């Protein structure tokens, strides 16, 4: 089971050294549920990521549906970043996803200044995909 975002924030606040935070991000990725092999498709691949990242979106019913995400990556640190994004966005209503600022969370966790430009771009691509899926869910029900 993935860690809730508040627990991740709390754990990060206890870690002073970047190396400890880096290891923790990897541990978060290791805690992701297994990703189905049949979902590793071009349609589920997130473009703009240097590492391979796959994201599957499931939406509930209603005008403002709850959306759940499942994701994976072939790189350890990126898999951990996927886990953080899933903790931030998965299981929330589409309108909440739309109003959630991932950049603020990354800054709060100190990840904004420790990610390579390529990883930061990949993370932005993942957030863009998540928000696009939430927007599409809201439009479907309008």
Catalytic residues, which ones?
49
Helix then strand then coil, in percent of the chain rounded to 5, is: 55, 15, 30
From the list 41, 48, 45, the residue with the least C-alpha distance to 120 is 48
From the list 46, 38, 51, the residue with the least C-alpha distance to 80 is 51
Say how many CA atoms lie within 13 Å of 122 toward its Cβ.
22
Residue 41: helix, strand or coil by DSSP? coil
SS (H, E, C) 79-134: HHHHHHHHHHHCCEEHHHHHHCCHHHHHHHHCCCCCCCHHHHHHHHHHHHHHHHHH
């Amino acid at each position: 089971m993935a860690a809730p975002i508040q627990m991740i924030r709390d754990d990060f606040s206890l870690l002073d050294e970047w190396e400890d935070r880096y290891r923790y991000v990897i541990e978060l990725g290791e805690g992701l549920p297994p990703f189905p092999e049949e979902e590793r498709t071009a349609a589920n691949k997130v473009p703009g990521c240097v590492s391979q990242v796959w994201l599957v979106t499931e939406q509930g019913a209603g005008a403002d549906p709850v959306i759940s995400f499942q994701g994976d990556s072939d790189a350890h640190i990126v898999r951990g970043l996927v886990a953080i994004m899933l903790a931030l966005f998965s299981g929330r209503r589409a309108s909440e996803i739309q109003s959630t600022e991932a950049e603020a969370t990354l800054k709060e966790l100190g990840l904004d200044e420790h990610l390579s430009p390529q990883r930061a771009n990949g993370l932005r691509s993942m957030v863009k995909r998540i928000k696009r899926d939430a927007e599409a869910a809201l439009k479907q029900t309008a």
